[in-house]
Chain A
């Protein structure tokens, strides 16, 4: 089943934005495959205002040359708005912003995480990214993540089972173990995201993503 989507894997931007021949409507959200810099405007000369991480759920808004304007929804913890996560209390990191970029965020509902009583705010971010690799579903991203995990995280120790740990714990594990894979940072982020989406609290994460 997983491999059926192989064909659709290399859906390009052009397809997304300019090909109405798609049998169905293009998916409203697609997922970033890789890490990209985020800019306030489609302009190289300006320094980026942050970065978007692999699996960030993006909604394409408009296009200018190689540049794509996107919007992303996520959650921030009160006081730590520079980090945008996938769900309240589940720290799957989607974006990191410079301090100055925080003022661009649009905040909406606020909830108290029942387990920690911490306040989380639904947040929308908009900005420009250049020639991003977007995938219609997370499964397309896992097709690259799974073999990386299987090959690079079983050489030194026995295979860890993704659902033995929570998504937050995987962040910490990868902070320590990621560098020991010798892989580039982007690939370490990819493995981390893969493990987080298959973690003990993956159901909660999926529900949050649907919302």
Chain B
């Protein structure tokens, strides 16, 4: 698969994955204030599926009282959606949506553990999340895409992986996030994740013109 996007898809996946897996700390937010950081966000803005979160982040970094405030706001959004459950929750695990009782660590998690084994990869350092976490899946997708580009053998084509293991639940997660406040970064990034995966699997269905 040849990447014809402005932002390589591998980068797009990794950037979103990182957000879901490790919410930006203060240093990371500061880096977006650097020349390179602003350039990076600007280039993301040209990509239709990434424009919205990139713009949000750019504005947020530029307009925040202090970056510490922004960081707290993002953390709070994370905690509310991912760590606590309850009415405002949107848990980012495939198992929750694909198992009978909404449990964690069900078959999707085991499938991801097996896939990571096959790919000879491990969860990121310091991450104590199940392997069917959206962030892990997006990282895996990036890895598969990259191996395909390099002509490496892959245990499963990236598109098939996204179709069979991500799109099976991402829309439900996305829908759940749609109940969050409009300016909740989780909602904004979930929109982007949904669009990105959808675009990879079914490219025709999305307008690819820059906004």
Answer yes or no: A and B touching, Cβ < 8 Å.
no
